[in-house]
Structure 1
Amino acid sequence: MKNVVITGTSRGIGFELAKMFAKNDCRVLALSRNTKPLDDFNHKNITTISVDLSLAEDIKKAVSFVNSNWKKVDILVNNAGKLINKPFTELTSEDFLEVYKINVFAVAELTKNLIPFLQKESHVVTVSSMGGIQGSMKFPGLAAYSSAKGAVITLSELLAEEYKEQQIAFNVLALGAVQTEMLEEAFPGYKAPLSATEMADYIYNFALTGNKFYNGKVLQVSSSTP
């Protein structure tokens, strides 16, 4: 059984992804503020821990579980995201910090703390956005969100280089529009071509096999704009 850590599992892609891994005989550690959706799903392969990823002490709760119960992590999916949609002149430093805490700092902190448990052929997959891709179409109101998603791409490229000797793979999936609650917050009324379940299926397969083909890469997973 593979050991899989997933963040942002209370809804959308993360929720579907946790169920998918669990149903396919993987042990899942599901991290989100709200654990009720997966607690209600009640699968023997899923352990939920309520964490605020912006708090280092909460991340340590997850690391403590891994240390006590697993000793190794095969797959880490950094899926949790925070979006604030405001005109640039209305964005405060606190808004930027709030977005970066989840989309960048938490990714770095959780990954750093799990490095001792990542072994040869482990795969770290970070979910970014097409908005973080240089040269892609950009949208008003998403200055904090899209710039954070760009930062995490560069972070993953650097980690792939730093840990290539250990053969730990770091890759990024820059997603286009997926029908989730977050998309509705960014683009009210827009109907995406993909459901959360469909995208979760793609990420599930990539997490299991993508490290055989890619390391330090950013794959653009988008069939539409936004």
Structure 2
Amino acid sequence: MKSKHIIVTGTSRGIGYELVQLFAAQGHRVLALSRNHQPISKLQLQNVTTFSFDLSDPESYSEVDAFIRKEWKQQVDVLINNAGALLNKPFKETTYQEFQQVYQTNVFGVSEMIRTILPFTNKESHVVSISSMGGVQGSMKFPGLSAYSSSKGAVITLTELLAEEYKETGPRFNVLALGAVQTEMLEEAFPGYQAPITALDMAKYIFDFSLNGQKYYNGKLLQVSNSTP
């Protein structure tokens, strides 16, 4: 397989951390973005670049733009919007700032990341955004996740809209609504809960889908869950 240029956000732990290693093992060039870049840096993976990246900081996107222009000859093949913020708190106790922070990462960060890489994509490029089953209309909802699940619903609609807007030129846009995955973020939100899928298992699925899914799908929501609430 030809080496591709791949950007992954939220790579300090969980699914993103595993994804970077999978791509690196197959010889792809990866830009791993997270506020804490140390976990990936310590791996010293070949063809992997990482630096501190804050989805709420406009300067961070300028750094990504400069990197693509200088190091990747203005080409991005895959963007995986994996970074996410999860808040488990009763709605009436959730502050304006907390709601805003969740949307800053889960919605505004996704849209700005896409806007940043658009000039460097083509019809074969693939943008994969990670949503949640909680953001799917008609799925089971859980108290305390008003900010998180509604933000993930917004990402689903954004994906559908962008796929239509860029259907002639590319890139392709798809969104994966994940069920429960055993990650540090899940443990923080739901202490003691044991999910049936590991971060590595889910990363393997996303790895394959990000490289090949654009051949079959555009503007689609795929529910990646082994249960049907």
TM-score (norm 2): 0.97
Paired residue for 2:31?
Answer: 29
Q: Residue 217 in 1 paired to residue 217 in 2?
A: no
Structure 2 residues without counterparts, runs of 5 or longer: none
Paired residue for 2:65?
Answer: 63
* 2-structure distance, mates of 1:130, 1:45: 33
Paired residue for 1:188?
Answer: 191
* 1-structure distance, mates of 2:152, 2:143: 15
Deviates more, 1:56-65 or 1:23-32: 56-65
Deviations 1:23-81 (A, max 9, x none): 10100000000111111110111100101111111121112111111110000000000
**Does the Cα contact within 8 Å between 1:176 and 1:225 map onto a contact in 2?**
no
Deviation at 1:185, TM superposition (A): 2.1
| Equivalent position to 1:164, from 143, 164, 167 | 167
Paired residue for 1:44?
Answer: 46
TM-score (norm 1): 0.98
Paired residue for 1:109?
Answer: 112
Q: Residue 11 in 1 paired to residue 19 in 2?
A: no
Paired residue for 1:123?
Answer: 126
* 2-structure distance, mates of 1:198, 1:185: 20
**Does the Cα contact within 8 Å between 2:181 and 2:195 map onto a contact in 1?**
yes
> Any residues of structure 2 matched to 1:83-102 within 5 Å, and which?
83-102=86-105
* 2-structure distance, mates of 1:147, 1:34: 26
Aligned residues: 226
| Overall identity of the aligned pairs, in % | 62
**Does the Cα contact within 8 Å between 1:7 and 1:78 map onto a contact in 2?**
yes
**Does the Cα contact within 8 Å between 1:193 and 1:224 map onto a contact in 2?**
no
Paired residue for 1:137?
Answer: 140
* 1-structure distance, mates of 2:115, 2:51: 19
Deviations 1:1-29 (A, max 9, x none): 10000000000000000110011010000
* 1-structure distance, mates of 2:25, 2:110: 26
Deviation at 1:225, TM superposition (A): 6.7
Deviations 1:99-154 (A, max 9, x none): 00000001000100110001121000000000000110111111000000000110
**Does the Cα contact within 8 Å between 2:187 and 2:193 map onto a contact in 1?**
yes
Tell me the amino acid that sits aligned with residue 65 of structure 2: V
